[in-house]
């Protein structure tokens, strides 16, 4: 049956099938597996799968991590009463400062791990989390400032969710010779479905680009490869349309150079 889609991770699964075939498919699966089956998930019913809340509507699905992860980070950093900030990242060129103490190091590592988990649903914090993750072995004062900055930003944006509709669009950008990354450029990419984020990443390039055009070419190639993978995933899920658009207006010249 070609219209059956099952998302499987270890012993957790989530499926989408034609309503008239649902009972038959569950019956066949129970012949081979021990299953605990939830009630049918109708539109507008909130449920949890893989530690993320989901709400399916007729036009798509909302997915988001639990608010308690943000609350735990704020509590650990003593920021319950702190003011929010409009952006998640510090300005570049910040001095490292002194190395963190052992206790601060443990706090930095554990809370950075929590924020890395949250970042899958909140791509706008990927830039700050990328620098935090790359310096966990020997963090300094500036890394704690980055951690606090991301936490204060999330405090002001607690309810944002990922929306998953059908069409696919690819966006890429590069930061050539980023000052805080040992002169390696940083590739950023976003894969959108009907204008809503499906996947995003922010990672250092493996080689040192000798020009802005070269770094943009690497970034564009990377998002194209990611887009081919997600196009195949969407095809398997019953979506077939892929749209590749140029990046935002202020980045078009850089991509033409690449």
pLDDT in tens, 171-200: 666 777 666 556 778 888 888 766 667 778
- Tokens for 135? 């310096």
| Percentage of the residues of the chain whose pLDDT score is greater than 70 | 81
Q: Binning pLDDT at 50, 70 and 90, where does residue 78 land?
A: very high
Q: Binning pLDDT at 50, 70 and 90, where does residue 218 land?
A: confident
pLDDT of residue 79: 92
Cross-strand bridge partners of residue 191: 170, 199
pLDDT of residue 57: 74
pLDDT of residue 75: 92
Residue with tokens 């207006």: 249
- Reply yes or no on whether the pLDDT at 229 is more than 60: yes
- Reply yes or no on whether the pLDDT at 248 is more than 60: no
Contact (Cβ atoms closer than 8 angstroms) between residue 162 and residue 64? yes
pLDDT of residue 83: 93
pLDDT of residue 194: 66
Over residues 128-156, mean pLDDT: 87
CA 99/CA 78 separation, integer angstroms:
20
pLDDT of residue 211: 82
- Tokens for 7? 């998302």
Long-range CB pairs of 204-210, under 8 A, 24+ apart, other chains included = 204/130, 204/134, 204/178, 205/174, 208/177, 208/183, 208/184, 209/174, 209/176, 209/177, 209/185
- Reply yes or no on whether the pLDDT at 247 is more than 60: no
Higher pLDDT, 40 or 139: 139
Over residues 245-254, mean pLDDT: 36
Q: What are the residue ranges of helices labelled H in the chain?
A: 22-30, 67-76, 102-118, 126-134, 141-155, 212-236, 252-257
CA 114/CA 72 separation, integer angstroms:
9
Domains (range + CATH), the chain: 5-62 (no CATH), 67-155 (no CATH), 165-257 (3.30.420.10)
pLDDT of residue 167: 56
CA 42/CA 46 separation, integer angstroms:
9
pTM for this prediction: 0.58
Neighbours of 241 (CB within 10 A): 12
pLDDT of residue 24: 82
* Poorest-pLDDT segment among 19-23, 29-33, 115-119, 219-223: 19-23
């Amino acid at each position: 049956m070609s219209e059956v889609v099952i998302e499987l991770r270890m012993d957790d699964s989530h499926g989408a099938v034609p309503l008239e075939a649902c009972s038959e498919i569950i019956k066949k699966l129970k012949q081979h597996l021990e299953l605990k089956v939830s009630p049918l998930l109708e539109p507008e019913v909130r449920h949890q799968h893989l530690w993320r809340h989901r709400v399916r509507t007729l036009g798509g699905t909302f997915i988001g991590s639990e608010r308690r992860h943000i609350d735990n980070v704020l509590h650990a950093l003593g920021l319950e009463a702190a003011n929010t900030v409009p952006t998640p990242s510090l300005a570049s060129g910040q001095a490292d400062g002194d190395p963190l103490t052992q206790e601060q190091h443990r706090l930095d590592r554990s809370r950075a791990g929590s924020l890395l988990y949250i970042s899958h649903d909140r791509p706008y914090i990927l830039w700050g989390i990328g620098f935090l993750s790359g310096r966990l072995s020997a963090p300094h004062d500036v890394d704690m400032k980055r951690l606090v900055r991301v936490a204060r930003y999330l405090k002001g944006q607690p309810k944002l969710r990922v929306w998953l509709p059908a069409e696919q669009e690819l966006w890429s950008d590069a930061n050539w010779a980023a000052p805080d990354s040992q002169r390696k450029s940083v590739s950023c990419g976003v894969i959108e479905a009907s204008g809503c984020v499906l996947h995003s990443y922010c990672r250092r390039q493996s080689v040192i680009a000798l020009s802005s055009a070269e770094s943009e070419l690497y970034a564009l190639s990377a998002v194209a490869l990611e887009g081919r993978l997600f196009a195949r995933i969407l095809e398997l899920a019953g979506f077939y349309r892929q749209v590749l658009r140029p990046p935002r207006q202020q980045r078009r010249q850089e991509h033409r150079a690449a």
